[in-house]
Structure 1
């Protein structure tokens, strides 16, 4: 076997390792939002997890259980990556029973969710911190 073929094989093996490493960065980064998040006011907790090819959020705990929001209610739907640390989909507001265009933005252990109407002209944001 020629000497150059061993070096070439080692070089190709290293390249394959690098490609696999970069390929695994995307899915891992998209999963960083998964987990339990507590609203900054302490009023509720939501569990964000994979649902099909997107991320969804379900209420897991409420400080006040006598309001329109209910434990087990899904409030974030079909959130798909839309940039670095960002997802876009739909957000349900239990207070008015309406579903809005929604986004999630992750920055470290802080998450901001937003629901918008009128093509994003009017938005309401909620801040969350990791609870798990």
Structure 2
């Protein structure tokens, strides 16, 4: 009888744990407005983690050229010509705890990748943090158009 209870308890733990892991990705999925309100990023499940791409910019055109904004700060000349809309921001964002992912984030302002974490802090809020060595900073994003 005790063995049957242990097997049942194990099965219940597995079945109850599976939706929690799925819910973690579902909470971050959606379109998010950056803290400055100058971009919207669509986050979706990607492999075992999450991916994020720019889907909207307040200023989508390069004022100097009159053409769509590009990743002009990227040190790689081939990448510097890619459009900002559709630009992937996250690399290797994998689960790092409840409602948290860790990996790297791309900063189009300087063309560099940084160690980063993303944490769901509420139904409509995310905390994005990035670090260069011991120097860390972050911002809060809000869900767009719920």
Same fold (TM over 0.5): yes
Q: Does 1:81 align with 2:81?
A: no
- CA drift of 1:30 comes to 3.2
Q: What does residue range 113-132 of structure 1 map to in structure 2 within 5 Å?
A: 113-118=128-133, 121-131=134-144, 132=146
What are the Cα deviations for residues 22-74 of structure 1, in whole angstroms up to 9, with x where unaligned?
32222222331111101132211000112222211100000012265511001
Return 5+ residue gaps in structure 1 as ranges. Answer: 1-8
Q: Does 1:32 align with 2:46?
A: no
Cα root mean square deviation, aligned: 2.4
Q: Give me the whole-angstrom Cα distance separating, in 1, the residues matched to 2:13 and 2:106.
A: 41
- CA drift of 1:19 comes to 4.0
Between 35-44 and 62-71, report the one with greater CA deviation: 62-71
2:126: which partner in 1?
A: 111
Q: What does residue range 40-119 of structure 1 map to in structure 2 within 5 Å?
A: 40-65=35-60, 66=62, 70-108=84-122, 109-118=124-133
Deviating 4+ runs (over 3 angstroms)? 14-19
| Number of residue pairs the alignment of both structures matches | 123
Q: Give me the whole-angstrom Cα distance separating, in 1, the residues matched to 2:106 and 2:12.
A: 42
Say which SS state the counterpart of residue 95 (structure 1) adopts: coil
Q: Which has the higher strand share?
A: 1
Cα gap change, 1:22/1:41 in structure 2, threshold over 3 Å: closer, same or farther? same
Cα gap change, 1:125/1:68 in structure 2, threshold over 3 Å: closer, same or farther? farther
